[in-house]
């Protein structure tokens, strides 16, 4: 397996008033290409913070985030935005869809940052929606879709630009069990069939069970709890 991410001596501290809060200190981690990792842990353990650092939407207090030889933590804001658009797909707990856009328009958003023609963008949007099984809803706005359908649109948006890694923050936290299972099966499919590397933060042990590698983050340290 090839290492996609290498985290070295990673620390994250926040300052609240005069108080300094350490989220984690000197964390080391390797994520291989094709991994499906779930990260569990108590609230405040730094799961989402870690996801933010992997996705380049936050910066570490110290240490290095390396992704295929690129020091993500050292990139300027502009380069970081470009890097995110090319390498990372985000899937959020509350879907984060644009309420005024249709499903297809939401999925198309990452492609607007490319030089693809309108025709090619349309083709890719339909492919992404087809993969997640929601092509027939492409003209619907988020408010006209169920929670599960909205999350599928969110997944389609995350994969449409063909990033190597999908970062999922509680992707089933707002869904019922059956719908959650369907979404998790879709993620499994993307990992297995399209070789997407997936890092998923969850509170749900059942959801974590879908991952091939399960980590528990507690008191700033990882504990490997299982592997499929």
**Which residue ranges make up the site for another protein (CB under 8 A)?**
48, 52, 55, 57-58, 77-78, 81-82, 84-86, 90, 92-94, 96, 98-101, 109-110, 112-113, 157, 169
Output the smallest distance, CB 226 to another protein, in A.
27
Least distance (Å) from another protein to the CB of residue 227? 28
Tell the smallest beta-carbon distance from residue 105 to another protein (Å): 8
Taking the least distance from each CB to another protein, the nearer of 2 and 43 is: 43
Smallest distance from the beta carbon of 191 to another protein, in angstroms? 21
Of 105 and 188, which CB lies nearer to another protein in the complex structure?
105
Q: How far apart are CA 156 and CA 132, in angstroms?
A: 6
Closer to another protein by Cβ: residue 11 or 86: 86
Q: Closer CB to another protein, residue 113 or residue 228?
A: 113
């Amino acid at each position: 397996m090839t290492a996609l991410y290498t985290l070295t001596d990673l620390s994250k501290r926040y300052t609240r008033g005069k108080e300094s809060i350490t989220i984690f200190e000197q964390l080391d981690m390797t994520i291989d290409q094709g991994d499906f990792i779930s990260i569990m842990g108590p609230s405040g353990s730094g799961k989402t913070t870690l996801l933010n650092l992997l996705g380049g939407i936050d910066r570490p207090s110290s240490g290095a985030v390396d992704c295929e030889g690129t020091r993500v933590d050292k990139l300027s804001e502009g380069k970081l935005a470009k890097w995110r658009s090319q390498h990372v797909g985000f899937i959020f707990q509350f879907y984060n869809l644009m309420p005024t856009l249709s499903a297809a328009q939401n999925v198309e958003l990452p492609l607007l940052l490319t030089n693809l023609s309108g025709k090619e963008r349309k083709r890719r949007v339909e492919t992404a929606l087809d993969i997640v099984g929601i092509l027939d809803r492409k003209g619907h706005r988020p408010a006209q879709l169920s929670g599960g359908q909205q999350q599928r649109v969110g997944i389609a948006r995350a994969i449409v630009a063909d990033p190597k890694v999908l970062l999922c923050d509680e992707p089933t936290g707002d869904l019922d069990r059956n719908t959650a299972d369907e979404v998790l099966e879709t993620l499994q499919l993307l990992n297995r069939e399209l070789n997407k590397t997936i890092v998923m933060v969850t509170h749900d042990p059942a959801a974590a069970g879908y991952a091939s590698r399960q980590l528990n983050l507690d008191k700033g340290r990882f504990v490997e709890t299982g592997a499929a």
